[in-house]
Structure 1
Amino acid sequence: MRGKSDICSFAECFDPQQMPGHYDRHPWEGGTISETESERKTLNAAEIGAIAHLYRGEVYRSTIWRTRLDTTTNWAVVTLGVALSIAFSSPEASPLPLVLVGVLIILFLMQEARRYRYFNVWRARSRWLETHFYTHLLYDGDLHMEENWQKVLAEDYLHPRYHVSLMVAVGRRIRRNYLWILLIQSMAYIGKLAVHPTSVGSFEQLMDRADIGPVPGQIIVSLGLAYVVTWSGIAIWSQRSDKARAKLRGNGGANSMG
């Protein structure tokens, strides 16, 4: 599988409305086939059974990768919990662990985004079968193969690729879990500075407590603010991107996976 962060969406790569009705050469045999031979109107019982097994396999793979996503999130929660325990163990304890844990959280976030891109491939394929195969089969018994949904799926198997970019994956994981982790980390850090070792008396005192060695507290707090704003901005951007993709699908402009 080719992983490209700047890859186009599946709708841009494979648009059923623009796919030709014939191929010059069969993609895996190299032989010439006519337009009539390339058009599939229905599936026989054996082919439907094979697709059913294919769907089960895609659901299984998506379930496995979904479990891996949960594992990475658990790591982030546990490390944040350890940092909270160390920072609030005593009034004299340093708030530095709450700063350093941010590096681990970013590491887990990027790893989870990578895993999400794999998960999204299997999830998108299973969802594609649900909406284009099973719903047609259950609703009126007509598979509507003239819509070429089967060719879109076939192209995805012939040329597998990620359906979403890395930044979209990062934004989705932030919206689902990591935004709350980042907010808890930031609030705990400010709370630690405000109450330990005694209640803060002024803003200048708060900044003094944020000092880390030769680095002034104003710089540390500014970096922390930029840290939260940056990840929040990515989350908002990815949400707008997802809404635009959903609107495009709803208007019939494209049938995209992901």
Structure 2
Amino acid sequence: MPRKDLDAAEMGAIAHLYRGEVYRSTIWRTRLDTTTNWAVVTLGVALSISFASPEASPLPLVLVGVLLIFFLVLEARRYRYFNVWRARARWMETHFYAPMLAEGDLHLEDDWQRTLANDYLRPRYHVTFLVAVGRRVRRNYFWILLIQSLAFAGKIIVHPTSVQSFDQAMERASVGPIPGEIMVLMGMLYVAICGGLSTWSKRDDLRRSQARGREKSDSMG
């Protein structure tokens, strides 16, 4: 049978539970900022090395892309954990605190508390790994990747002198035995994949949001 009311002790316990979820989400949010900072610092180091002199190689700007992917994957994993605590706190805000403040009625007949209880009994991620990657690209890594790509193109165009032809640009883009055309193609594919994940995750978020608006939702995240 659905519950009809919560006593003062139970409401106090939920208040403490909410504080705990906010604290955990704050801790994991800080960990997200840490990986973003690592990505920014490593990109800054690569920029410093590549633009240290006209004769410096653009290779550091290529290698830093591997580190950026590693940081992005690590941050997406952390985001999935962060999203669990954030979703629980938001669920309590929208179903416990907001109705209590607006109407003085917790609407327990909607059975929102059972959804929260099930999430504690059987915890799970609320978003997929690819959605998490797309969200982190949209929020932070788009600008990091944009700076990396523009820096690589700028290095090819201006160092050691202004580029005079397309063939010369491709020659400068070469890295060891890998031709410049292959390097440019790989860079375009690198940017296209990140952009595609970002766009796809945005559409998925909109679809989930519209689904919540059309009908009663029984899930968090």
Specify if TM > 0.5: yes
For 1:113, the equivalent position in structure 2 comes to: 76
Alpha-carbon separation, structure 1, partners of 2:43 and 2:211: 39
Q: Where is the helix percentage greater, Structure 1 or Structure 2?
A: 2
For 2:161, the equivalent position in structure 1 comes to: 198
For 1:221, the equivalent position in structure 2 comes to: 184
Within 5 A, what are the aligned runs for 1:55-134?
Answer: 55-134=18-97
After superposition, give the CA deviation of every residue in 1:188-217 in whole Å (9 maximum; x if it has no partner): 000000000000001111001011111110
Within 5 A, what are the aligned runs for 1:29-40?
Answer: 38-40=1-3
Within 5 A, what are the aligned runs for 1:1-258?
Answer: 38-258=1-221
After superposition, give the CA deviation of every residue in 1:136-164 in whole Å (9 maximum; x if it has no partner): 11011111001010000000000001000
Give aligned-pair identity as a percent.
Answer: 70
Alpha-carbon separation, structure 1, partners of 2:160 and 2:218: 58
Q: CA contact under 8 A between 2:4 and 2:108: conserved in structure 1? A: yes
Q: CA contact under 8 A between 2:115 and 2:219: conserved in structure 1? A: no
**Alpha-carbon deviation of 1:253?**
4.8
Counterpart residue type for residue 204 of structure 1: D
Which residues of structure 2 form unaligned runs of 5+? none
Alpha-carbon separation, structure 2, partners of 1:98 and 1:225: 14
**Alpha-carbon deviation of 1:256?**
2.8
Where in structure 1 do 4 or more consecutive aligned residues deviate above 6 Å? none
Q: CA contact under 8 A between 2:50 and 2:56: conserved in structure 1? A: yes
The RMSD of aligned alpha carbons is 0.7
Q: Structure 2 length as normaliser, TM-score?
A: 0.99
Counterpart residue type for residue 107 of structure 1: F
Q: CA contact under 8 A between 1:249 and 1:256: conserved in structure 2? A: no
After superposition, give the CA deviation of every residue in 1:102-145 in whole Å (9 maximum; x if it has no partner): 00000000000000000000000000000000011101111100
Tell me the number of residue pairs that the alignment of Structure 1 and Structure 2 aligns.
221
Larger radius of gyration: 1
Q: Structure 1 length as normaliser, TM-score?
A: 0.85
Q: CA contact under 8 A between 1:65 and 1:115: conserved in structure 2? A: yes
Counterpart residue type for residue 221 of structure 1: V
Alpha-carbon separation, structure 2, partners of 1:120 and 1:147: 23
Alpha-carbon separation, structure 2, partners of 1:167 and 1:255: 22
Structure showing greater relative contact order (alpha-carbon pairs closer than 8 Å, 6 or more residues apart): 1
Which residues of structure 1 form unaligned runs of 5+? 1-37
